[in-house]
Chain A
């Protein structure tokens, strides 16, 4: 591996930290800025601070590829890309000004553009990882298409720090659309679900849809003439300063997310009919073309919500305010849990990192 000396020092430092922990049977907590600690497994032990490993290693806008070290702020990466007219198309939530790329990849969260552009993992081309033995491994690469060996870099995406320290990631970049506009409609929830699905199927240039507080927000983006004609076809009212609206929504700064009541995230098929799930309409929002729903509800309501999600081909968990891993994420089928445990054991045989 061709490391610069700075990189070498950093990696070697972490390697010795990992090996020492493994020898002692101690735990390590992989930590960036801590912006997403609330929605991941509990991390105990001596801290590996990923913010010590920063920088854009390589950015070739013409290749549509950016390679970034784990501690780099998402904001800095997005700034560099915006300067070249490009973006991270999965529109990641930051949940904090200092949120890092490593934390973003480890938590695997995507934003409003998810159903239309793809998920974070869809844009990961390659990863380097320091595993629980202190080995620095590289999977995938920095080219658009690569099927050599198992797709381990996508396995690492969303693994929440349980498999190792993701040290470097290569992403596919996309150009920022030339024009953007958001249309707002007063619809009840069921009508909104129906429109989100139908309008997508009619090949409109839609890049986000959210229903909250009795209103459906539809973001159109693409070539200016296409956005204009779609806006005219769909109708509704234009939303002023719409970029701010979507940023607030993505960052969960919208008033829907205010207050201390737990926030349940429910994933289901996009066409699942509206169900009030024992809360009133103001306490539920519909996102991602219908495939992601947010509920303000108590932990006691979770079993009923999960039962419903299951009938709709999905799953649910408490996103903010969970008291346990079981509340956060649904259990896996036994055979899959066994596979997952073996994968965990191969990356982290001494259980240095957070548990599953």
Chain B
């Protein structure tokens, strides 16, 4: 039901062009990067500033209208998927960089600012914003905060949470709060940490103060070929064991390198079963020292070939393949489904073997790209949604991978978030009491449960249904006997 008084009040708060109600105007917002889930929202509001946004929130609160926040819509877990009874709140009109403190190495930006736009704006000062998701040309910093996004350089420079100083947040009531300070800490509980990665369930981020990192004087990447995925996985462990924390440490299997090579011509070794990309950055002395040590470790680990980038263009070319792995997979398969589990690295060979077995079982191809340094896997399951049953098979395949990650001591999501996609697997990873505590935390911020309802944290009822369904399929919940910590 579209209630007239709500829409009238909303229209009074926003200029006409910042409010979309007609179906054709709302179509572009019907899904995020997880495009298998689609719905039209109740309406789309695009406030131009914090005051407008707060007024919209206050109105929604008064009318008990749920709110789903949306940044750039690149999320891969359905976090920004609309719901017919909820207002979709887009930050697309809040795209200003408000302040750059070059000496203090911080910038204050609005939530709709693109990740890469921050680095571009501060580049003139020799600085950049370190977390670099592969979607960085498109995704918004508000979305990054909501997902605690990572990138290929977060092994050394940290995730979003390690690079945020302060947030301004509008609560569901329309109240505006500041989390964190311009210093390095704040009094009270660490609500800043709690807000980061909260997937739009606790508040709407309206301003972000990011920490900037000095651009390293030099960066070089080594590309190593391996005859087996296991050998490449083991090499990652040897690098860490040698006391090296590379700026980036990524792995791709042969299916993935073949897909990207046809797309970006990065110069990958297509005879290798897997390649590793290992980057060093810092002063020229540091890089030379580290590259020598890395090359030695890689050789001892059985690398069949090692190439080290000789200039910046070459370095970027080596990375371009990795950064385009998802779209490249999209070119060789009508559809693909990107998973995001994290595991203790030692489990890599075992998990890869099981994925290969599952790939045969479901008769679906699967390319593997990983943030290998921190054990974050991105199996890309290829399918064709037009073939009846393939989507369902892809989803089941994915679910099995996630549960495997939990079983070996890992987690169902390293950086893409739970959203609606992995909500059932939350029941596998957490006990009912832990989930209840998360609901209570949400309640502390959002008493009526209006912010992004149905996402990220499943209700116990849902878990019970999921449990029954699995038992029906002869799969017991792997709950009680699992060392989940």
Q: Which residues of A contact B (CB under 8 A)?
A: 1-2, 60-65, 67, 85, 108, 114-115, 118-119, 121-122, 126, 128, 131, 135, 137-139, 141-152, 154-155, 157-159, 168, 170, 174-176, 178, 197-198, 200-203, 205, 222-226, 228-230, 267-271, 288, 291-292, 309, 312-315, 317, 329-333, 335-337, 339-340, 342-343, 346-347, 356
Binary contact readout B390-418 vs A (1 if CB under 8 angstroms, 0 otherwise): 00000000000000000001111111111
CB <8 Å contact, B103 and A197:
yes
Which of B187, B189, B409, B442 is close to A143, meaning CB atoms less than 8 Å apart? B409
Q: Given A64-B240, A148-B422 in contact, is the A229-B183 Cβ separation under 8 Å?
A: no
| B215, A203: Cβ atoms closer than 8 Å | yes
Contact A291 B342 (CB under 8 A): no
Selected A-B contacts with CB under 8 Å, 26 pairs: A60-B344, A62-B240, A67-B485, A119-B185, A122-B162, A126-B485, A143-B342, A144-B375, A145-B414, A148-B412, A150-B197, A150-B198, A152-B194, A154-B161, A155-B190, A201-B102, A201-B103, A222-B286, A223-B282, A226-B283, A229-B285, A267-B183, A292-B183, A339-B191, A339-B444, A343-B440
Please choose the segment from B31-39, B222-230, B356-364, B427-435 that sits at the chain A interface, where 4 or more of its residues have CB less than 8 A away.
Answer: B427-435
- Contact residues of B with A, CB < 8 Å? 101-106, 125-127, 147-148, 150, 154-155, 158-159, 161-162, 171, 173, 175, 177-179, 181-191, 193-194, 196-198, 201-202, 214-217, 237, 240-241, 243-245, 282-283, 285-286, 288-290, 342-346, 371, 373-376, 409-418, 422, 426, 429-431, 433-435, 437-438, 440-445, 456-457, 481-485
For B282, give the chain A residue with the smallest CB separation: A226
In whole angstroms, what is the CA distance A157 to B442 when docked? 19
A225 B104 Cβ-Cβ under 8 A:
no
- Residue contact B433 to A158, C-beta cutoff 8 Å: no
CB nearest to B149 among chain A residues: A147
Partner of B434, one of A63, A137, A347: A137
Distance of A198 Cα from B101 Cα, bound (Å)? 12
Which among B186, B343, B413 has the greatest number of chain A C-beta atoms within 10 A?
B186
Smallest Cβ distance from A130 to chain B, in angstroms? 12
Contact, CB under 8 Å: A342 / B444? yes
Measured CA separation A291–B431 after assembly (Å): 40
Nearest opposing residue in chain A for B341, CB measure? A143
Partner of B127, one of A1, A201, A330, A335: A201
Enumerate chain A residues within 8 angstroms of B202, measured Cβ to Cβ. 150
Is A85 within 8 A of B243, CB to CB?
A: yes
Closest to B409 in A: A142
Determine the chain B residues whose CB is within 8 A of the CB of A135 once the complex forms.
433
Interface contact B414-A146, CB-CB below 8 Å: yes
Q: Which residues on B sit within 8 Å (CB–CB) of A315? A: 181, 183, 186-187
B237 contact set on A, CB distance < 8 A? 62
A342 to B441 CA separation, bound complex (whole angstroms): 8
Contacts of A330 in B (CB 8 A): 187
Which residues of chain B are near A147, meaning CB under 8 Å?
147-148, 197, 411, 413-418
* Distance A108 CA – B192 CA, assembled complex (angstroms): 14
Please tell me if the beta carbons of B457 and A202 are within 8 angstroms of each other in the complex. no
CB distance from B297 to the nearest CB of A (A): 12
Q: How many A-B residue pairs have CB under 8 A?
A: 279
Set B182, B196, B286, B290: member contacting A313, Cβ < 8 A: B182
Q: Which residues of B contact A128 (CB under 8 A)?
A: 485
Residues on the B chain within 8 Å of A118, using CB? 158, 162
CA distance A288 to B437 in the complex (A): 35
- Residues of chain A contacted by B150 (CB below 8 angstroms): 145
A331 to B127, CA, bound (A): 34
Residues of A within 8 A of B456 (CB): 149
**What are the residues of chain B within 8 A of A267 when measuring CB–CB?**
181, 183-185
A272 to chain B, nearest CB (A): 9
User: Given A145-B415, A148-B426, A313-B182, 4 other A-B contacts at CB below 8 A?
Assistant: A61-B240, A148-B429, A267-B183, A343-B444
User: Smallest distance from the beta carbon of A10 to chain B beta carbons, Å?
Assistant: 15
Q: Identify A138's interface contact among B187, B415, B443, B484, CB under 8 A.
A: B484
In the bound complex, residues from chain B placing their C-beta under 8 Å from that of A317 are: 187
Are A148 and B344 in contact (CB-based, < 8 A)?
Answer: no
A residues near B245, Cβ cutoff 8 Å: 174-175
Is B409 in contact with A141, judged by CB distance below 8 angstroms?
yes
State A275–B433 Cα separation when bound (angstroms): 50
What's the nearest-Cβ distance from chain B to residue A157, in Å?
A: 6
A271/B104 in contact, CB under 8 A:
yes
Top-8 shortest CB links A-B: A313-B182, A144-B374, A267-B183, A342-B444, A225-B285, A154-B193, A314-B183, A145-B414
Q: Select one of B194, B410, B485 contacting A168, CB under 8 A.
A: B485
Instruction: Give CA–CA (A203, B456) in the complex, Å.
Output: 38
In the bound complex, residues from chain B placing their C-beta under 8 Å from that of A108 are: 185, 190
- Knowing A202-B214, A229-B283 are in contact, say whether A115-B184 is a contact too (CB < 8 A): yes
Residues of A within 8 A of B282 (CB): 203, 205, 222-223, 226
Which of A150, A154, A269 interacts with B457 by CB under 8 Å?
Answer: A150
The answer on a CB contact under 8 Å between A291 and B183 is yes
Residue in B101, B188, B374, B417 whose Cβ sees the most chain A Cβ within 10 Å: B188
Chain A residues with CB below 8 A from B184, complex form = 114-115, 119, 267, 288, 291-292
